[in-house]
Structure 1
Amino acid sequence: MKKYKVIKSDFLSPEDIDIINNIKHIAEISDNTAYDVYLGDDSVTSVSKLPLAYLCSCDNHFAGYLTVFFSSENDINLYACVLPDYRNQGIFSSILNEVTNDIKNAGINPECIYFPINKFINLSDTLTNITSDTMPDSMSNSPSDAAIHYLAKRNYSIAHIEYKMCYYFNSSNSESNNNSNAFNNLSDCPLELLTRDYDEHTSEFTFWIGDDYIGGCMIYKYNDKSLCIFDYEIESSKRGNGYGKYGLKLILNYLAKDNYNVVSLHVSNANKKACSLYKGCGFIIEEEVDYYSL
C-alpha cells in the first residue's frame, strides 16, 4: 500500500522550488496546458497564517504540490498540481484536506477561497469559432476533470472565468499572428507612449495627449522571450475614442523592437468589449482559467 506524506513549508528553499517546478513542467508537457504556482515574493505583503507550500511525497517520491497566496486579507488563491502517474490515488484529496484543516485551525475565515483550473484551448477551434462579436460562455478541453469533480464534491463552484490571450510577434501562421495591422504606420495615432522601469522585470507604460493622461498598463518580463500585460486601462472619461486599440498598437510596436516572441494577458470572459478589443489587435485565446471558489 502506498504511503502519502504531506510536507508543509513556510519558506521555499531552492531545492523545494526545483521540486515544484519539475512537477509543474512534467505535468504541463503531459497535459498540454499551463499550471499556475505561487513561489513567494518579497515584494508582496503576505497576511498568511498558513504554510506557503504543501508538498506531497509518495514512497519517497514527490508527486504533487499546493501553494498558497493571499491576494487580500479575505481572499486565498490555491495552486495545485499532481504528476500524471500519481493521479486518482488520493494525493490531491490528501493535500486539500491538510489545507482545509489548517484554515480552520488558524481561525481564518476568508470570504473566498479561489482554485484556478487551467484549460487548454485548441487554437484552430479558437480561430474558427471566435469572432470579435461573440465569445463563448464556456470552453473546455481540460485534463483536470478529476480535480474539478473533487472540488464540486467539496462544494466549490465556478466564481468567474478568465481567458489567457496571447500575441505572437513572429508567428509563421498569419491567422494566429496579427491580422490587426498592428504594425501599420501609426502616424495618425494621437497618443504618446511613455515608459518607466521599476526593476529588471516590471515596467509601466502610459498613454498621453499632451499633459492629459489617457491610460496605461504594467508589463512584466518573464524572460528574454515572453512578457505579460496586466492592469490595462483607459480612463473612464476617455473611453469610446479608440484609444484602447491605439494604446495596444503602440505597446506591440514598442515591444516588437526587442525581439520578444509572445506577450500574454488575462481578461474576464464576461468583459466582451475587452475580449473583442484584444482579438482585434491580434491576440488569440490560448487558455481558459476557471476560478472555483468555496
Structure 2
Amino acid sequence: MGLTIEKTVRSDHMDVLKNIVSICCQNDSKKYSFFYEEDDSYLFGHPGFFYFSDDSNNILGFICLSGIDRQNFDVCGFVLPAYRNNGIFSQLLTAVKEEYKNINLSFPLPAHCKNAAEVLRKNNFRYSDTECKMSLNLKNLIIYPSEFDIDITESGKGAQQCAFFKDDFFVGSCSITLINDSYCILSEVEIIKKYRGLGLGAHLINCLLGYLDEINIDKIILHVTKSNIPAFRLYQSMGFVVDSSLDYYCLNL
C-alpha cells in the first residue's frame, strides 16, 4: 500500500470518491459534505487530490483541497471504515503539509466527530469555530408590524439585496437567495456599525420576515458562527433553530 499524489483526476475517480463518502456517511450515521470538483485538481500550481491506495490501486482514503484563493483552502478527507486506525489519514495530511507552504487550511467536521478531530489535533490543527445552519418555518408564525422600511433590489437571478431604513435613515442590509418559490437563504445580515448595540437587530429581522411572508416564503435558512454570540442569540430569540453544525479546525502552514 502507498500514497499517491495526483495533479489531474480521472473522471472515474470521482465516482470512487463519492462512493467512499457514501460508505463513510452510512457507517458513521452522519451527513458529510464533499465539495471537490474535477476543476479543483490543480490549484495554483499544486495538486488538489491526494489518495492512499492498496497494491491493486484501490483507493482506501483521500484528501482533497478547494482553493478559496491563493492563501486559503478548504480541506475534506475520508478513509474507508475498514482501513481506519492505520495512520492513513495522518499520512495524507503529512503529504498536504509537505506540498503546500505559507497557506491556511480549514477543515470542517460535523459536530461530535471525536476521532477525526483527534487526528486533526495530532497534526497541529486547532479548533477555530463552529458554524451553525439555522432554519425558520414561517407557516403559522406570528409576525408583528415593523418599525423599519425595506427597499428591495434585484441583484441577479434569484438574488435580492435588502436595505433597511428607520425614520428614513439607512440602518442595515442583507442578501436573499431564492432557492425556489417557498425557500430562501439569508446571508450578510448586518446592522451598520453606528447603530449596533441599540437592539435594532430584532426589528430588522422582523421587517425581513414580514417581507418574506408577503412573497410566500415558507422556510428560511441561514448560517452563523457560534462565536458571533449576539447574532446567534438574536436568531434563536426570533425562532430560528439549529439544524446542523460544523466544527472548523484550522492550520497555518
TM over 0.5: yes
Distance between the aligned counterparts of 2:239 and 2:217, measured in 1? 17
| Structure 2 residue aligned with 1:128 | none
Kindly provide the amino acid, as one letter, of the partner of residue 39 in structure 1: Y
Cα distance change of structure 1 residues 208 and 155 upon mapping to structure 2, 3 Å threshold: same
For the pair shown, which has the larger CA radius of gyration, 1 or 2?
Answer: 2
Q: Would you say 1:216 and 2:162 are equivalent positions? A: no
How much does 1:99 deviate? 1.3
Distance between the aligned counterparts of 1:219 and 1:41, measured in 2? 29
Q: Which runs of 5+ in 1 are unaligned?
A: 120-141, 172-180
SS at match of 1:192: strand
Distance between the aligned counterparts of 1:12 and 1:225, measured in 2? 38
Kindly provide the amino acid, as one letter, of the partner of residue 292 in structure 1: C
Q: What does 1:1-294 correspond to in 2, within 5 Å?
A: 3-6=1-4, 8-10=6-8, 13=11, 15-39=12-36, 48-58=44-54, 59-103=56-100, 108-110=101-103, 112-119=104-111, 142=112, 144-158=113-127, 160-169=128-137, 183-200=141-158, 202-209=159-166, 212-220=169-177, 227-255=184-212, 257=215, 261=219, 263-267=221-225, 269-285=226-242, 286-294=244-252
Deviations along 1:129-179, one digit per CA (max 9) or x if unpaired, are xxxxxxxxxxxxx2x333222222222222x212313214279xxxxxxxx
How much does 1:280 deviate? 0.8
- Give the conservation status (yes or no) of the 8 Å contact 2:106–2:251: yes
Fraction of identical pairs, as percent = 23
Distance between the aligned counterparts of 2:86 and 2:132, measured in 1? 30
Deviations along 1:234-279, one digit per CA (max 9) or x if unpaired, are 1111223443223333444555655655513132x22221111111
Cα distance change of structure 1 residues 40 and 281 upon mapping to structure 2, 3 Å threshold: farther
Q: Which structure is higher in strand share?
A: 2
Kindly provide the amino acid, as one letter, of the partner of residue 48 in structure 1: F
SS at match of 2:50: strand
- Give the conservation status (yes or no) of the 8 Å contact 1:50–1:68: no
Kindly provide the amino acid, as one letter, of the partner of residue 97 in structure 1: T
Distance between the aligned counterparts of 1:258 and 1:6, measured in 2? 51
Cα distance change of structure 1 residues 12 and 38 upon mapping to structure 2, 3 Å threshold: farther
User: How many equivalent residue pairs?
Assistant: 248
Deviations along 1:160-207, one digit per CA (max 9) or x if unpaired, are 212313214279xxxxxxxxx9x424423313141424245x543332
Cα distance change of structure 1 residues 100 and 205 upon mapping to structure 2, 3 Å threshold: same
- Give the conservation status (yes or no) of the 8 Å contact 1:12–1:39: no
How much does 1:79 deviate? 1.9
- Give the conservation status (yes or no) of the 8 Å contact 1:35–1:81: no
Distance between the aligned counterparts of 2:249 and 2:184, measured in 1? 23
Cα distance change of structure 1 residues 218 and 55 upon mapping to structure 2, 3 Å threshold: farther
- Give the conservation status (yes or no) of the 8 Å contact 1:6–1:55: yes
Kindly provide the amino acid, as one letter, of the partner of residue 96 in structure 2: V
SS at match of 1:147: helix
Deviations along 1:196-244, one digit per CA (max 9) or x if unpaired, are 24245x5433323476432223345667886543322111112234432
Pairwise CA RMSD of aligned residues? 3.7
Distance between the aligned counterparts of 2:16 and 2:22, measured in 1? 10
Kindly provide the amino acid, as one letter, of the partner of residue 172 in structure 2: G
How much does 1:28 deviate? 3.2
